[in-house]
Amino acid sequence: EVTVMWFRRDLRLHDNAALYHALRQPYPVIPLFVFDTNILNKLSNQHDARVNFIYDTIADMHVHLKKYNSGMYIHHGTPLQAFQQLAEKYTIKNVFTNSDYEQYAYERDKIIADYVTQLGAGFHSYKDHVIFDGSEVLKDDGAPYTVFTPYSRKWKALLRSFYIKSYPIKLQSTQLVHLHNTTIPTLASLGFLPSNMAIPPQKVDEVLIRHYDAQRNFPAVQGTSRLGLHLRFGTISIRQLAAKAQQLNDTFLNELIWRDFYHAILYHFPHVRAGKSFKLIYDQIEWLNDETAFEKWCMGKTGYPIVDAGMRELNTTGFMHNRVRMIVASFLTKHLLIDWRWGEAYFAEKLLDFDFAANNGGWQWAAGSGCDAAPYFRIFNPALQTEKFDKNLQYVRKWVPELDSFDYPAPIIQHEIARKRALEVYGKVLKNK
């Protein structure tokens, strides 16, 4: 008789809500991780740095758990197969896990909850990935917020120390199923190969957070935390980070609230989870979807230095500064009139910190189709953005060293022409709405 603790985007053995609760019930716990082929088979890059990161993290957890005569129980396949395999060996009494708010996750969890319920086991899901989930921050009449500022006000009004308190976890060998002699599969057996992309350190830099509001908008400066990947996979706890943010810098706390906000949007609006525009009318826009232009954007060859710098940073490091993400996303959707979903998919493939909620939110914000987005007629001017945020071209020159040479391409389209064209195409659908 066992309890299964199923890890997904909460890859840590401290301050983990589901693990805390799993350890408080009478059955010994099996720590499970599934290398889910439904997800992995869609990845095109065998050297995917995120898979490498997950793999290394799970390997570390395995080594740690061995001290308690246990380890990670790993399955490579589908979650259902993993639970079927476990059910052959053990009587599953309970499954503990932390909630995940994406469309695939809802479907996956329903399949597993149904399966284990048939076995007579309980399926218990906890909030761990956000401070407040979609059901907690609502307007006074119970409706969801679709505008950030009032949402964040309510979020802050609701915050009590309880919500950012860590779950104390003290592992003991008696609480865990003894998985003697288990080894974990090799990365190659999962179909992946090592990556040489650097992973940002899992370090909460208090000095940086203290100066966040002054530094965060300048891509040449290392002024943001680079913790996105660690929040995405739960290698740091959002509660611990939010507690620090509350002490150190309100602007930084606001960014963490944006993260909750976009997760709440997914929770409340299934059409967004399913890939539609938040404002459905935007799905009538007649995108040009020029494949050659898209290719140039992807490769950082548009002839707009700030756009090209951003795309090259992304392609090389798996990261792009937030200010530049906004510029390149605006450029793709407004200047090139390419469906925001193309850009969303490209970011999903490349960003180390890729997260469906934040990525979709960011893209729809830039395209104008999202909740609380700028109106469609406000179009970023890349030159003015550069003037404001990279005046000395330090960032641009780092990524586009050939800027002043003949090798650098002419602009793919003139800004004024692109602006007029965007206003026309967007206006056709949106004028008078």
- Toward ligand FAD, which CB reaches closer, 35 or 212? 212
Is 256 a binding residue for ligand FAD by CB under 6 A? The answer is yes
Q: Does 311 engage in binding with ligand FAD (CB under 6 A)?
A: no
Cβ proximity to ligand FAD: between 87 and 220 the closer is 220
Provide, rounded to whole angstroms, the least separation between the CB of residue 113 and ligand FAD. Answer: 27
| Listed ranges 161-169, 219-227, 370-378, 396-404: which one lies at the site for ligand FAD (CB under 6 A) | 219-227
Minimum distance from residue 109 beta carbon to ligand FAD (Å): 21
By the 8 A CB rule, do 130 and 100 touch? no
Quote the least distance from Cβ 210 to ligand FAD, whole Å.
Answer: 13
Q: Is 11 annotated as a binding residue?
A: no
Q: For 333-375, give the DSSP string.
A: IIIS---HHHHHHHHHHH-TT--HHHHHHHHHHHHT-STTPPP
Identify which of 361, 391, 386, 366 has the alpha carbon closest to the alpha carbon of residue 307.
386
To the question of whether residue 88 is assigned a binding role by annotation, the answer is no
Identity of the residue, 69 or 202, whose beta carbon is nearer to ligand FAD in the bound complex: 202
Output 228 or 305, the one with its CB closest to ligand FAD. Answer: 228
Give, as ranges, the residues between 344 and 383 that touch ligand FAD (CB under 6 A): 347, 351, 353-355, 358-359, 361-363, 366
Catalytic residue among 297, 340, 365, 399, which? 340
What's the DSSP call for residue 235?
S
The annotation status of 355 as a binding-site residue, yes or no, is: yes
The reply to whether 255 belongs to the active site is yes
Among 325, 335, 341, 350, binds ligand FAD (CB under 6 A): 325
Single-letter amino acid, residue 47: H
Tokens read off for 382 = 């890349």
Nearest to 30 by CA among 112, 114, 91: 91
Q: Does 249 bind ligand FAD (CB under 6 A)?
A: no
Name the active-site residue from 102, 136, 255, 349: 255
- How far is Cα 390 from Cα 344, in angstroms, rounded to an integer? 25
Residue 340 appears among annotated catalytic residues: yes
Q: What span, in angstroms and rounded, lies between the C-alpha atoms of 300 and 343?
A: 13
- For ligand FAD (CB under 6 A), the number of binding residues is 27
Question: What distance in Å separates the CA atoms of residue 350 and residue 106, rounded to the nearest whole number?
Answer: 24
Tokens of 368: 């104008």
Residue from 326, 352, 422, 430 in contact with ligand FAD (CB under 6 A): 326
Instruction: For the segment 222-241, give every residue that binds ligand FAD (CB under 6 A).
Output: 224-228, 231
258 is catalytic: yes
The Cα 262–Cα 358 span in angstroms is 6
The residues with which 144 forms a beta bridge, in sequence order, are 138
Query: Among 6, 155, 342, 363, which one carries the catalytic annotation?
Result: 363
The answer to whether the CB of 234 falls within 8 A of the CB of 240 is no
Is-catalytic flag, 155?
no
If the CB atoms of residues 154 and 230 are measured against ligand FAD, the closer one turns out to be 230
DSSP one-letter code for 103? H
CB closer to ligand FAD out of 36 and 355: 355
Which stretch of DSSP H or E encloses residue 124?
Answer: strand 122-126
Instruction: Convert 100-112 to b/e letters by CB count within 10 Å (16 or more is b).
Output: bbbeebeebbeeb
* Residue 362, C-beta contacts closer than 8 angstroms, at least 6 positions apart: 325, 326, 329
Q: Which two tokens mark 70? A: 């246990």
Nearest approach, Cβ of residue 86 and ligand FAD (Å) = 32
Where do contacts with ligand FAD occur on this chain (CB under 6 A)? 216, 224-228, 231, 255-256, 258-259, 262, 322, 325-326, 329, 347, 351, 353-355, 358-359, 361-363, 366
The set of catalytic residues is 255, 258, 287, 322, 340, 363
Residues of each annotated binding site for FAD? 212, 252, 255-262, 353-355
